[in-house]
């Protein structure tokens, strides 16, 4: 993989963020998602790479852009597999709340799990707690292990959980153990990534979210030296077949870092669309816009924060006229 891709993909996530941020608070999640997807698609076309979407917006017949199998880039340069979530948190943008991201992960061919669009049970932690948690252990035991690893009391921990009825029991277990909770409406990629940054105040992500988001989170945490474990949760025979079709032999097995994102290299980039603990969202002022992006590479361990200042006058395609 070429390290020049690291900088190239920042342009892609920035474009998606700039476009979709115009939809903040308008109550239109599909429009926000389409804006991010088409912006991403356009910029990918300018990058010297031989990319193939392995996690994307769906199958060819259901997604006109960034569908699984779609080829990306100018066709010259490194051959890589690409996972995208142009707008991770469509509802977040529609409502104007926290932690919507435009996300891309890139890895060498066959290194990313081809995660079907279904649920995945997850536990994610930052570097200090790597090797200390176990998705099969009790919630109390995992909280205790993370507290010890971080030299904190369990009462000091902050656990992020998607605010869903399916997490009723999990939330009770966390409360019983004494840890604190941040319930989120959406956006568990940001939550997983934030566990690796002390300043965010986020210690763990627990619960059930999207499987594709689990793979994206794994790439981020690989670059950051953190860890996520996952378990696919096929809800019926059709979803089990889908796993088999996507090359997953045992859908019930625990997926560790190496299963989610293999090898020693991968690149991850995320641009904030709305404000979050780690990244500020897009801000507009007249003909100017600003973006904040984190971009990182597993092989070198470099993590960069890139502040973008954009001239909308010179990039008129970013101005949405409603
Ligand atoms: C999950 C989560 C995402 O949507 O996919 C969630 O991983 C969907 O779950 O971060 P529900 O069916 O419970 O809404 C997100 O929150 C946003 O894509
Ligand atoms: Mg999406
Ligand atoms: Mg998503």
Query: What's the pTM?
Result: 0.97
Q: Which residue has the tokens 């994102």?
A: 261
pLDDT at 319: 60
CA 3 / ligand 1 centre spacing (Å):
31
3-state SS record for 2-19? CCHHHHHHHHHHHHHHHH
Q: How far apart are CA 205 and CA 190, in angstroms?
A: 10
Torsion of CA 136, 140, 145, 146, to 10 degrees: 100
Beta strands in the chain (DSSP E): 50-55, 71-72, 79-88, 101-108, 119-125, 158-162, 180-184, 204-210, 227-232, 267-272, 283-285, 288-297, 303-311
Choosing from 186, 192, 193, 206 the residue with most ligand 1 atoms within 8 A of its CB, the one to mutate for a pocket test is 186
Read off the pLDDT band of 172 (50, 70, 90): very high
Nearest residue to 292 (alpha-carbon basis) of 314, 270, 313? 270
| pLDDT one-digit tens code per residue, 246-285 | 999 899 999 999 999 999 999 999 999 999 999 999 999 9
* Protein residues within 5 Å, CB atom, of ion ligand 2: 85
DSSP 243-286: HHHTT-S-TTSPB-HHHHB-SS--EEEEEESS--SSS---EEET
Mean pLDDT (the chain) is 95
Read off the pLDDT band of 65 (50, 70, 90): very high
Quick one: residue 223, left, alpha or beta (phi over 0 = left, psi -120 to 50 = alpha)?
alpha
Which residue has the CA at smallest separation from atom 4 of ligand 1? 186
CA 185 / ligand 1 centre spacing (Å):
8
Whether pLDDT at 182 is above 70? yes
Whether pLDDT at 234 is above 50? yes
């Amino acid at each position: 993989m070429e390290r020049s891709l690291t900088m190239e993909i920042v342009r892609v996530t920035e474009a998606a963020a700039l476009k979709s941020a115009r939809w903040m608070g308008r109550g239109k999640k599909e429009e926000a998602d389409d804006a991010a997807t088409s912006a991403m698609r356009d910029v990918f076309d300018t990058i010297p790479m031989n990319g193939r979407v392995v996690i994307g917006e769906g199958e060819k017949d259901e997604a006109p852009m960034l569908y699984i199998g779609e080829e990306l880039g100018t066709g010259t340069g490194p051959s890589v597999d690409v996972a995208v979530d142009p707008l991770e948190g469509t509802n977040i943008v529609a409502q104007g709340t926290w932690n919507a991201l435009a996300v891309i992960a890139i890895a060498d061919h066959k290194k990313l799990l081809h995660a079907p669009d279904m649920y995945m049970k997850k536990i994610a932690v930052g570097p200090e707690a790597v090797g200390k948690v176990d998705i099969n252990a009790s919630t109390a035991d995992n909280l205790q292990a993370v507290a010890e690893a971080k030299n904190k009391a369990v009462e000091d921990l902050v656990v992020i959980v998607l605010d869903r009825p399916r997490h009723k029991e999990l939330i009770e277990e966390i409360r019983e153990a004494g840890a604190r909770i941040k319930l989120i409406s959406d956006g568990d990629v940001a939550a997983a990534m934030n566990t690796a940054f002390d300043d965010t105040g986020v210690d763990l992500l627990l619960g059930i979210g999207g499987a594709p988001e689990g793979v994206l989170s794994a790439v981020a945490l690989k670059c950051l030296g953190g860890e996520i474990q996952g378990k696919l949760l096929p809800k019926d025979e059709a979803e089990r077949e889908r796993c088999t079709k996507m090359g997953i032999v045992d859908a019930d097995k625990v997926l560790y870092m190496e299963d989610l994102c293999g090898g020693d290299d991968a690149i991850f980039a995320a641009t904030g669309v709305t404000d979050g603990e780690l990244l500020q969202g897009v801000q507009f002022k007249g003909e100017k816009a600003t973006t904040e992006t984190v971009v990182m590479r597993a092989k070198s361990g470099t993590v960069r924060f890139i502040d973008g200042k954009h001239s909308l006058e010179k990039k008129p395609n970013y101005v949405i006229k409603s």
